Chains A and B, each alone.
Chain A
Amino acid sequence: NAGVTQTPKFQVLKTGQSMTLQCAQDMNHNSMYWYRQDPGMGLRLIYYSASEGTTDKGEVPNGYNVSRLNKREFSLRLESAAPSQTSVYFCASRVLAFREETQYFGPGTRLLVL
């Protein structure tokens, strides 16, 4: 199993450009998440998807859109990038079994918006 994979690993954008961050998991998990991590702050939830075909806003959704294309893939789109979106983005999936939950994180995407 590859676990949770993310592409790209690094990206530099100019203000106003758009891009899509890709995330996939091969563990058959229903729940998937997008977080951002900024210096001096904890990870913050951008969007999540409880199951295929559903998505919901998290704590910091402004400036982002998401698509849960199928059970494996959950993409994050920046329509018009802004310097404030410079961050490290983590995709995660979650499994709940016998009242125990485990979070699996992707390796992260470092995004710099100039």
Chain B
Amino acid sequence: KNEVEQSPQNLTAQEGEFITINCSYSVGISALHWLQQHPGGGIVSLFMLSSGKKKHGRLIATINIQEKHSSLHITASHPRDSAVYICAVRPDYSYSGGGADGLTFGKGTHLIIQP
């Protein structure tokens, strides 16, 4: 069974700090997503990774396929970054029960950035 584990579950930091959120998964994947969920509940896609590294503004996402691990980094964190960050993976076809589509999600990391 595919498991997606995120750490930490909760993180409180001061404005300006460098933030790292980790995601580990247990099966082969074709894609990994980082998502952001604000207190209002809406979910927004931040990144899709299949290899390497991506950067968008102050956000950087990396993935190590061999180690089945990804990290999301936030540089110069700001209170508006406060949200739940969710890691989700799309298992390789061989792990997906022969056709089941859809993502497997971690439980999320609740991030609070204090001014």
Q: Which residues of B contact A64 (CB under 8 A)?
A: none
- The secondary-structure label for the interface of chain A is strand
Interface size on B, residues (CB 8 A): 24
Q: Which residues of B contact A42 (CB under 8 A)?
A: 4, 86, 88, 104-108
Do B43 and A105 touch across chains, with their CB atoms under 8 A apart?
Answer: yes
Stretch at the interface among B10-18, B66-74, B94-102: B94-102
A84 within 8 Å of B by Cβ?
no
Q: How far is the CA of A59 from the CA of B97 in the complex (A)?
A: 11
B39 within 8 Å of A by Cβ?
no
Do A103 and B35 touch across chains, with their CB atoms under 8 A apart?
Answer: yes
Chain A interface residues toward B at CB < 8 A: 31, 33, 35, 40-45, 48, 50, 56-59, 88, 90, 99-105, 107-108, 110
